Amino acid sequence: MRDADVRRAIKFKLDALHKDDPSTRIVEEMGVWGSTVRVDMAVINGELSGYELKSNADTVLRLPYQVEIYNKVFDRMTLVVGDKLADKALPLIPAWWGCTVATMQNDQIRLTLKRKGRKNPSLDLSVVVQMLWREEAISALEAHGLADGWRTKRSAEIANRLLTSLSPKQLSDEVRKALKARMKLGQLATGKLNMPVDAVCDPSGRATC
């Protein structure tokens, strides 16, 4: 079982699940935390959902660190793990994460739900807001009538104004809206359900410029 096999299987499943929803974007390798960590698959619609893939050829060495980062920004997370790695990986993920086990049957990947996920109980909005680029943060202020006198402020000040002025739902909505609309320069989307996104989150605590 190769990494590419698991990725292909989960992408096929997600594409089929959301094919009739034009408000959904499915993104591969979405960067968070200064792009030093990239979640394998992300689904952006009314929530921000991440899918971390671990085939039998992988290890779980990086999983605790990935868990720490993903817990800050994703509304929901799912671990998709090879059957031979599942026993090692499951104890390393929080109880609210979902888990799907991948097995190889007749040269095909079969995905079996091991544990249904729940909503993240502890998003870190101070990190979520950093996923906005400066221009996107200003647009969010404008959308809520909060931009006057703030367009020339430092990025950290703009981020703090969003944090203190918007409700958690409003802030999350603005971040998801920005991510769904963002196109990486020079990289074309291969389809409406596979939009390239560079979601940048600054581990230093400063809003991204």
The pLDDT value given to residue 34: 62
The pLDDT value given to residue 106: 84
Residue 187: inside a domain: no
103 with 133, same domain?
Answer: no
Residue 51: inside a domain: yes
9 with 92, same domain?
Answer: yes
Residue 129 and residue 163 in contact, taking contact as beta carbons nearer than 8 Å: yes
The pLDDT value given to residue 31: 82
Residue 83 and residue 9 in contact, taking contact as beta carbons nearer than 8 Å: no
- Scanning 52-118, the segments in alpha helix (DSSP H) are 63-73, 86-89
22 with 107, same domain?
Answer: yes
Closest by CA position to 120, among listed 70, 168, 66: 70
Which CATH number belongs to the domain containing residue 43 in this structure?
A: 3.40.1350
44 with 92, same domain?
Answer: yes
Tens digit of each residue's pLDDT (9 = 90 or more) over 89-139: 999 999 999 999 999 888 889 999 999 999 999 999 999 999 899 999 999
Residue that has been written with the tokens 């909005």 in this structure: 125
Closest by CA position to 127, among listed 42, 195, 57, 69: 69
- Scanning the chain, the segments in alpha helix (DSSP H) are 3-18, 63-73, 86-89, 125-128, 134-143, 155-165, 168-181
135 with 34, same domain?
Answer: no
Residue 206: inside a domain: no
Cα within 13 Å of Cα(144), Cβ side: 18
Q: How far is Cα 82 from Cα 114, in angstroms, rounded to an integer?
A: 12
Residues 102, 68, 207, 170: is their CA dihedral positive or negative? positive
Q: How far is Cα 41 from Cα 105, in angstroms, rounded to an integer?
A: 23
pTM of the model: 0.84
The pLDDT value given to residue 190: 37
What's the structural domain count of the chain? 2
Residue 147 and residue 165 in contact, taking contact as beta carbons nearer than 8 Å: no
The pLDDT value given to residue 3: 81
As beta bridge partners, residue 26 has 43
Residue 195: inside a domain: no
As beta bridge partners, residue 181 has none
37 with 66, same domain?
Answer: yes
Residue 80: inside a domain: yes
Q: How far is Cα 209 from Cα 200, in angstroms, rounded to an integer?
A: 10
108 with 12, same domain?
Answer: yes
pLDDT tens, the chain, 209 aa long: 778 889 999 999 999 999 989 889 998 888 886 666 889 999 999 999 999 999 999 999 999 999 999 999 999 999 999 999 999 999 999 999 999 999 988 888 999 999 999 999 999 999 999 989 999 999 999 999 999 999 999 999 999 999 999 999 999 999 999 998 887 632 333 333 333 444 443 433 433 33
154 with 82, same domain?
Answer: no
Domain range spanning residue 169?
A: 125-181
